[in-house]
């Protein structure tokens, strides 16, 4: 079967976002990771995984730098605003709503989001009016919807992708963000089990900005989870917002080459909002 070629136009757009991401943290300087062993197979629904990594994934993160960058600081403020279990009603306080807006205001000031906005305006997917664009982002990432069977508003795109959720106490959903992973690991809630790689050619190294991880969180195992490492919150929001808005399909998958990584970017739609989004690493240049 012929292999799909990367989408040239989106690859160019995303490489420009990559170049503009001056808030991306640098491995070996701003943080260090320790990959250790290759994770084994875990059957879907099983919560037993052999631990191929005795130590944490993150051995060092410059927290002063992390909290000193505006977009990260506002992002971190949002991480404790959610009930992680689906089916449990999300009550959003006025303070939390304000934190959502402060986060969007902060990322909209960055060159990454400005470039993403310009592209979406050119493509007719977003209004050129900054306030309307911000409302569109709010609906995509923060608008509440029901994911569980209770019918209650128990989830949103931001919670699923960046914070993580649990389903019926049996399964981890989402949690594709490196900052949340690091903070949860630091507090003893996440146990890193090892990395996953496609074949022997794509063995990752400590400098890589895209990884596939296996881990447990709150006693449940995630057999496979794709994550960018070190990138800024605005980069991920920009990237997945563009993929989301370029299609009206329930599930969109685009093949792109960003920096040295060939990625499949996957986005699931939940009405006018993101259901989930994550990077699937297909190959790197190690």
* Residues designated as active site: 160, 176, 222
Compute the distance between CA of residue 231 and CA of residue 110 in angstroms, rounded to an integer.
Answer: 13
Say how far apart CA 84 and CA 3 lie, in whole Å: 38
The answer for residues whose C-beta is within 8 angstroms of residue 17's C-beta and 6 or more apart is 112, 115, 116, 235, 238, 239
Burial of 132 (0-12, 13-18, 19+ CB in 10 A): exposed
State the sign of the Cα–Cα–Cα–Cα dihedral 105, 111, 113, 115.
Answer: positive
Please tell me the distance from the alpha carbon of residue 31 to that of residue 54, in angstroms, as a whole number.
19
CA distance 286 to 270: 36
Length of the chain: 286
Asked if residue 238 lies in contact with residue 219, where contact means CB atoms within 8 angstroms, the answer is no
What does the alpha-carbon distance between residue 271 and residue 268 come to, in Å, rounded to a whole number?
10
Instruction: Identify any residues that bridge with 173 across adjacent strands, giving them in sequence order.
Output: 165
Torsion of CA 103, 104, 107, 110, to 10 degrees: -140
Identify the residue whose tokens are 């990584």: 261
Q: Token pair of 101, please?
A: 């807006």
Q: Which residues contact 52 (CB under 8 A, 6 or more apart)?
A: 36, 37, 38, 39, 40, 193, 194
């Amino acid at each position: 079967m012929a292999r799909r070629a990367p989408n040239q136009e989106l690859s160019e757009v995303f490489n420009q976002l990559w170049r503009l991401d001056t808030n991306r943290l640098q491995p070996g300087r701003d943080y260090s990771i320790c990959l250790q062993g290759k994770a084994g197979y875990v059957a879907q629904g099983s919560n037993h995984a052999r631990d191929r990594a005795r130590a944490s994934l993150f051995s060092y993160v410059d927290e002063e730098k992390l909290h000193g960058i505006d977009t990260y600081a506002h992002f971190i403020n949002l991480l404790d605003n959610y009930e992680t279990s689906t089916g449990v009603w999300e009550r959003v306080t006025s303070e939390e709503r304000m934190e959502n807006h402060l986060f969007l205001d902060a990322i909209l000031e960055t060159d990454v989001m400005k470039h993403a906005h310009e592209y979406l305006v050119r493509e007719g997917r977003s209004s050129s009016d900054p306030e309307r664009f911000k409302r569109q982002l709010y609906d995509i990432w923060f608008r509440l919807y029901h994911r569980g069977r209770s019918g209650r508003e128990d989830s949103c795109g931001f919670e699923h992708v960046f914070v993580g959720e649990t389903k019926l106490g049996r399964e981890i959903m989402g949690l594709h963000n490196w900052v949340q992973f690091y903070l949860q690991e630091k507090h003893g809630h996440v146990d890193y089990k090892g990395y996953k790689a496609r074949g022997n050619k794509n063995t990752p190294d400590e400098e890589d900005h895209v990884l596939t991880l296996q881990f447990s969180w709150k006693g449940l195992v995630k057999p496979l989870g794709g994550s960018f490492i070190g990138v800024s919150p605005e980069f991920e929001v920009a990237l997945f917002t563009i993929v989301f808005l370029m299609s009206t399909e329930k599930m969109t998958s685009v093949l792109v080459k960003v920096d040295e990584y060939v990625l499949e970017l996957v986005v699931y739609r939940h009405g006018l909002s993101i259901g989930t989004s994550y990077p699937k690493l297909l190959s790197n240049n190690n």
